[in-house]
Amino acid sequence: MTSTPLPSDLGVSLAGGRGEIRVYSAHATGIDLLVYDRDEPDHVSDRVHLSRDEDFVWSGKSSHLREGSRYALQAWGPQGATSAFTPEALLLDPYARGIEQVSASQFRAVVTSTDFEWDGVTKPNTPPSESIIYEGHVRGLTKQRADIPLELRGTYAGLGHESMIAYLSDLGVTAVELLPIHIYADEHYLQQHGMVNYWGYNTLGYFSPEPMYATLASRAEGPSAVVREFKQMVKSLHQAGIELILDVVYNHTAEEGPHGPTTSLRGLDNATYYRQTEDGTYIDVTGCGNSLNTSMPATQALILDSLRYWARDMQVDGFRFDLAVTLGRDAGHEYQREHPLLERIRTDPFLADVKLIAEPWDTGMGGWQTGNFAPGWMEWNDRYRDRVRNFWLSDIAHAREHGSVPTGVGGFATRLAGSSNTFSEDRGPIASINFITAHDGFTLADLTTYDSKHNIGNGEDNRDGTDNNRSFNHGIEGPADDTAIIVTRRRAMRNLMGTLLLSAGVPMITAGDEHGRTQHGNNNAYCHDSPLTWINWELSTWQEELLATTKMLISLRKELPALRPLKFGRFGETVENASQMDWYNALGQEMTAEQWDDPNSRTLQYLAASTVEGAEQSRILLVVHGLEDSTDVIVPEHAGVSFYEPLWFSTNSAPKEIPGVLRPGETIKIGPTCMLLFRAA
């Protein structure tokens, strides 16, 4: 696919006491800039008729347009099936660095200051193979933290507070991935029902941070102060060596369907920015009412310029692209792996130091594309999520009901070793963002507590949210008093967390899972800004134990290079920067082809030795037992291995020293459903 030149230098620039604005519209016949009086917000102090150049960029200058100025645009043009010009509508500049809400349905763009002192603090640039991502919501992370001053809780400053930084550092994660922080609006449906879009996947502007997440003091001072607070949060994270990744929503906007609010792109150039049929029907591959038309150069420019702004000016370390397949759809609305926008993002020199993470699906035809992004992209691996949940949860539920499990250990082993059947050899394990839970779905604790979703509080009669949870309540729906059920659930949580942190690939932990947070069975809590979605930091004893277990697993992952190869290994060969892997059954014998798929063969021994360049060699033995009975395991005899030192057993409710070592060929009794990690030496 050929690349087309993109419009450039859009938005507001200041020079010589005058501001200039540049706006793209291929179909408008006129655009006006309205600058508002600083003391009388509804009074227009200057109106400028913009002029258009041959590249469809409209521009104009005003001495009233300066730092702190509020401004809007009005556009008019032909009325046609794909046009939506509404001359009376006050529109946002798509490149506005600051946005303020002035009424229930009206917003104003604001010229912001760029002043900030980074004091030499730079990006950590953590290699993907060493990354451990922590996905959370900027508000929910600190709203209930008692060790953060009240006025900072639930804000950018709260996340940047020393106590939250200390917690993240002590946990051992290397990056925080925030749910969308671009300014957003609540959908009309939610407003009608008195609800909110807590997750924020309904973007109003791609350059402005959401002011609701700033402190009251910053909000009172204005958008420039909100930007400074955001930058200070980034600076504080970077000082601790922690990266910041943003979840970004470039697939649709808050203008919703064709009858939704007209706030910006629709009023400026509906025919360019949104996917439509010839009769003006929106082609919606996002399930949100509209889809940005990324086959158009202007749309590509908007997205690229936004990414550059956040990566350079705001010093963000990476992006997780919501419904990224939409970004790669061509003029015929089909996904193209080498789509010009995806290629521009991947090869842009200004984005060379950022992590690119695709959510590799959308809701349109051909929308599931896991494994089909180019080198340089990482992807959320839903196949990993589903296989791991099956192995530890739904397979066990099936065994209780039917007397046998439906599958063997082969599929699980493939995921454990980096998903080589999903990602190409040139991309390797680090293309896989491994996750078992995310903001969307059950929490880790709820996966072990509920068979069905409990979303009645969402106001849709429990119709919303997926029914394909692959969860297991272990005998009773919801909280239990039965000690046996409680013990089994907690061991299942440790098995899930252990799998996540001991697998090849890049692990992503959902905030709160490290200590067993619950949403009481709600698997689609997008509309709750309440204690249901805020993390409760008052932990019981078992939660403290799970937190200690998570910390230990993270520490072991960092200590043992064999757990985090850069490349896929090949049987019988030494591949530099890959782990040499050997697979044994419960008898310490090499796995046969038949045993991989045998439902009765659910005990696996995984021996891996690192070959990472420049790192001290490490070798580990991971024993996995996926049945609810005890069994004997003979640890394997292997060249160069003299003993196996126990490091972590998921049967222990909390980390503890395990005395002694095992010699090759010795027997250990294990089970039920457990993992055992040894250092092989």
Catalytic residues: 322, 359
Distance between CA atoms of residues 527 and 399, nearest Å = 36
Distance between CA atoms of residues 161 and 399, nearest Å = 47
Residue type, 585: N
Distance between CA atoms of residues 503 and 429, nearest Å = 9
Q: Which of 265, 258, 243, 254 is nearest to 124 (CA)?
A: 243
Q: Is 446 exposed, middle or buried (0-12, 13-18, 19+ CB in 10 A)?
A: buried
- Under 8 Å between Cβ of 108 and 71: yes
Gyration radius of the chain's alpha carbons:
27
Distance between CA atoms of residues 266 and 638, nearest Å = 66
Question: Which residues 6+ apart lie within 8 Å of 166 measured at CB?
Answer: none
Query: How is residue 441 written in tokens?
Result: 């779905």
594: which DSSP letter? H
- Under 8 Å between Cβ of 176 and 244: yes
For β-strands 70-76 and 57-62, DSSP reports them as unpaired
Residue found under tokens 């491994």: 434
- Under 8 Å between Cβ of 85 and 266: no
CA distances from 225 to 157, 206, 215, 282 (A): 12, 18, 10, 38
- Under 8 Å between Cβ of 371 and 379: yes
- Give buried/exposed letters for 284-304 (b at 16+ CB in 10 A, else e): bbbebbbbbbbbbbbbbbbbb
Q: Is 668 exposed, middle or buried (0-12, 13-18, 19+ CB in 10 A)?
A: middle
Question: Which residues 6+ apart lie within 8 Å of 372 measured at CB?
Answer: 335, 337, 360
Q: Secondary structure of 86-155 in the HEC alphabet?
A: CCCCCECCCCCCEEEECCCCCEEEECCCCCCCCCCCCCCCCCHHHCCEEEECHHHHHCCCCCCCHHHCCC
Distance between CA atoms of residues 191 and 184, nearest Å = 13
Residue found under tokens 């005395």: 659
Query: How is residue 363 written in tokens?
Result: 């809701």
Query: How is residue 178 written in tokens?
Result: 């925030």
- Under 8 Å between Cβ of 68 and 25: no
249: which DSSP letter? -
Q: How many CA atoms lie within 13 A of 136 on its CB side?
A: 26
- Under 8 Å between Cβ of 251 and 326: yes
User: Is the sign of the CA dihedral 156, 158, 160, 165 positive or negative?
Assistant: negative
Question: Which residues 6+ apart lie within 8 Å of 415 measured at CB?
Answer: 381, 383, 384, 387, 388, 434, 503
